[in-house]
Amino acid sequence: MGYALLAGLAAIVVLISTAVFIGVGSDDDGLDGTSSGTRNPASPASSGTWVGTWSAAAVAAEPNTQRGFPKMSIRNVVHTSVGGTGARIRLSNLYGTEPLTVSHATVALAAAPSNPTAATGTMRRLTFNNSRTVTIPAGESVTSDAVRLNVPHAADLLVTTYTPTPSGPVTYHPYARQTSYVAAGDRAEETSGTAFTQQSPYWRYLTSVDVWSSETRGAVAVLGDSITDGITSSPGANRRWTDFLAERMRTERDAPHYSVLNGGISGNRVLVDGPRYSPNNGPSGLTRMQRDILTRSGVKAVVIEMGLNDIIKPPRQRDPNRIVAGLRQLVKDAHARGLRVVGGTLTPFGGHRGYRPQLDATRQRVNEQIRQGKVYDAVVDFDAALRDPANPARLRPAYDSGDHLHPSDNGYRAMAEALDLKLLRGSSPTKL
């Protein structure tokens, strides 16, 4: 009788332990990260939370991809801001005109930076609602099930998708400043990079990677233009200003335990949407705030760096109050989610081909309202950090990439250092 009771109790303990490990899944933060009904031994354990480690905004439909990439494998290379013990990805068919079928998808650590070869023992097959194949309707996106994978901080990941059939225009991010790869045939689970002979300067379909973390408490999501996109940063070196910010978050003693998510689009404006097929512009900040910032996993604070393109690019906006009104609407959207917003002043562009004194006057009037606390909960003064003391309308020469608009790597570092990290944590949104 005693042996039977002990055996029964042991069986119950095993069942409970297994249930705790496997868990019940969904895409919600705070759960264990496994997929509903999935009994996957590679799924992460239950102590932790989902947080975005990398993101890129879907910008447009890639030109000349009316059939997509049938019978091709796309291996995107992305760089993590924080690590974790599990991973999941999000694929987008936002700009597609017909369903996109992905029949094989994987994630792995890169054997070396910017290299298409997977590190030994890290290749993981991805599923979507327990299925290896997923079909994403035009205009939609999908999140994968979780896999267990020890993802390091500041590491390159390989996310590979294989599409067996034509799918219509490819949703992409054109100015990745990172080399990704393409191979013929289904090479999604191939660890060797030798088949990936075609290089690409784009990220295709992939818009975010989340990790399951017991250390990182949330994410800072940055809405921005080409300066946040890092269009003049060193390719493959991860020297966008958001990369330097992520480095500060990881290394400084009193920094909040946050990841950093880049939501920059080159040419992006607050008020005006760009064309569907343009590699510049993208949807306006007002249009994409919800999609690219507020719905990212684990967001705790928002940083906004934009407004300059509204002044420089046709139709040029010369009324600073209209730009400020747009920025305030972005803040209002974030406040509706209970998020604090830190906003950047607009940076100098003297010497750039688009410079006009009257346009710079508009920039200065926008900056006046930002500095007076009339726009954001808190301010990071990018203008003061980057401008030339001898000629404040221009970038400091050491911070100028050469086009007199976009910073150099040193300029991007100065932007990251200008942000007081305490502004990202703790306080509730301000009533503006």
With a cut of 90, say whether residue 291 has pLDDT above it. yes
With cut-offs at 50, 70 and 90, classify the pLDDT of residue 36.
very low
Beta bridge partners of 199: 181
Strands 258-264 and 180-184: unpaired
CA separation for the pair 31, 10 (Å, rounded): 26
Residue 276's pLDDT is what?
87
pTM assigned to the model = 0.90
Q: Is the pLDDT of residue 293 over 60?
A: yes
Cβ 218 vs Cβ 51: under 8 Å:
yes
pLDDT score of 85 more than 60: yes
- H helix count then E strand count, the chain: 9, 23
Residue 427 has pLDDT above 90, yes or no: no
Is the pLDDT higher at 9 or at 22? 9
Which candidate, 245, 254, 248, 252, places its Cα nearest to that of 222? 245
pLDDT at 432: 55
Structure tokens at 361: 């006057």
> Considering only 9-18, 122-131, 146-155, 307-316, which range has the smallest mean pLDDT?
9-18
Residue 246's φ and ψ, nearest 5 degrees, are -60, -40
Q: Indicate the average pLDDT of the chain.
A: 90
Percent of the chain past pLDDT 70, that is, above it, reads 88
Mean pLDDT of 165-184: 97
The answer to whether the CB of 264 falls within 8 A of the CB of 230 is: yes
Neighbours of 64 (CB within 10 A): 9
- Residues 168/66, Cβ–Cβ less than 8 Å: yes
DSSP 152: P
Token pair for 381: 């003064």
- Mean pLDDT for 50-70 is 97
Question: What is the band of 425 on the pLDDT scale with cuts at 50, 70, 90?
Answer: confident
pLDDT recorded at residue 28: 39
Q: Using pLDDT thresholds of 50, 70 and 90, give the confidence band for residue 426.
A: low
Cα–Cα distance between 381 and 324 in angstroms, integer? Answer: 16
What residue has token string 């590699």?
A: 279
